[in-house]
Amino acid sequence: MAQAAAGNVLRASLFAVPVALAFHDVIGSPVQVEGRSMQPAINPHLGPESQQGESLDVVWQDKRSISRHIYERGSIVVFRNPFDPKERVVKRLIGVDGDWVRPRGNKHNLMRVPEGYCWVEGDNHGVSGDSNHFGPIPLALIEAKVTHVLWPPGRMRSLGQDLPEIHRGLNPSQA
Amino acid sequence: MVFRLRIFFLQCSGPSMIPAFNQSGDVIFAEMFSAKTGRLDRGDVVIAIPPQNPKLRVCKRIIGLPGETVIVRSRSWFDDRPEFVPEGHVWLEGDNPSNSSDSRTYGPIPLAMVRGRVFFKAWPPSEIGRVARRVPEAASAVLPRETAADSSISGGLESDAPVRFVATETVVDERGRGGQGETRR
């Protein structure tokens, strides 16, 4: 009996594990987000000092569009930190290659995003280290698009595209 | 590329890795494990994404590691320029410097864009075997981590490298600060 049960479990996992991994890599996966750089969209209640046991938002990262190299301006994306390959960072995609962007603290100068690169910014400018500090990053570092807040249940919602005011109207293809 | 399988094979073409790899028709095997666990070293042949085009894959050799300074040669020695490799980045070069678009064109690339280490050549039949870790003679000279930071030119510099690299210090400082920039979520 026990052997048969173990055999069933083994057979089930032989099927389930590869399917789950493929789903995780191709379709998407949930991920918990730390930090305040995307307030108010993500972690709106987080204070300046992080405390133990504070509830962090869990978001859904959609990998389907990025794997087809579709990059939507104004959407929230997950990318690898260019200076630390092990860390993933969540920011808003402001411009893709060829776009004009307006770096902050430099209000009168426009900058063109080089070929293959993009411009990312946090929504909470005071606490966000983003393209305004390290410049444009390669598009290849982007891994997923953040589409929904999943947790806590009261904050469940979809996250749309939203281009900050100062970047609007710089490129003809944007509404 | 298979998703979770740590080994993948591909056909590589182009003149940039002659003589280690032929112009066309070579079939090579690469593994993702070394890249994910940070076990890459100077001389490794890797598959990477070039920064100008996220859809492409290129095959190059790692020449410079994070924190090092690469001295990029040009036609005349007084046009040689030092390039700092920031944290989390590597410097890639093809074995055939006269016919390769690599870090000398697009600068250091983030390690996250290195997708695999080439470890085996499976085709053509006469060249089947392991792909060795080695640094070709034509590669750019590299200043090690420590000497790049202080301004002394003894140690690490090759005899044919020009003396004015005392000025390397300023370059290291500028780029280094960017590397330490706070990148929190």
CA-CA-CA-CA torsion for B19, B17, B116, A94, nearest 10 degrees? 180
Of the candidates A33, A81, A85, the beta carbon closest to that of B183 is on: A81
Please give the pLDDT value at position A18: 86
CA distances from residue B99 to B70, B76, B92 in whole angstroms, order as listed: 19, 18, 14
Residue of A nearest to B87 (CA): A83
* pLDDT, mean of residues B126-142: 87
Please give the pLDDT value at position A79: 95
* pLDDT, mean of residues B145-159: 45
- Strand pairing category for A84-96 and A117-121: antiparallel
How many residues are recorded in chain B? 185
| Residues B184, A37: C-beta atoms closer than 8 Å | yes
Query: Is residue A52 in some structural domain?
Result: yes
**Structural domain count of chain A:** 1
Give pLDDT tens digits for A17-39. 888 888 888 899 999 998 888 88
Query: Is residue A97 in some structural domain?
Result: yes
Query: Is residue A89 in some structural domain?
Result: yes
Query: Is residue A119 in some structural domain?
Result: yes
What ipTM describes this predicted complex?
Answer: 0.81
Q: Whole domain around residue A78: which residue ranges?
A: 30-174
* pLDDT, mean of residues B21-45: 88
CATH of the domain at A91: 2.10.109.10
Query: Is residue A7 in some structural domain?
Result: no
Place of tokens 């894959």: B57
Mean pLDDT check: name the lowest of A105-119, A136-150, B150-164.
B150-164
CB pairs under 8 A between A and B: 90
* pLDDT, mean of residues B41-64: 93
Query: Is residue A16 in some structural domain?
Result: no
| Residues A80, B112: C-beta atoms closer than 8 Å | yes
Topology annotation, domain B7-172? Umud Fragment, subunit A (2.10.109)
Query: Is residue A9 in some structural domain?
Result: no
Query: Is residue A56 in some structural domain?
Result: yes
Give pLDDT tens digits for A130-147. 899 899 999 999 999 999
CA distances from residue B16 to A16, A133, B21, B93 in whole angstroms, order as listed: 43, 34, 8, 9
Structure letter (DSSP) for residue B66: T
| Residues A116, B184: C-beta atoms closer than 8 Å | no
Reported pTM: 0.79
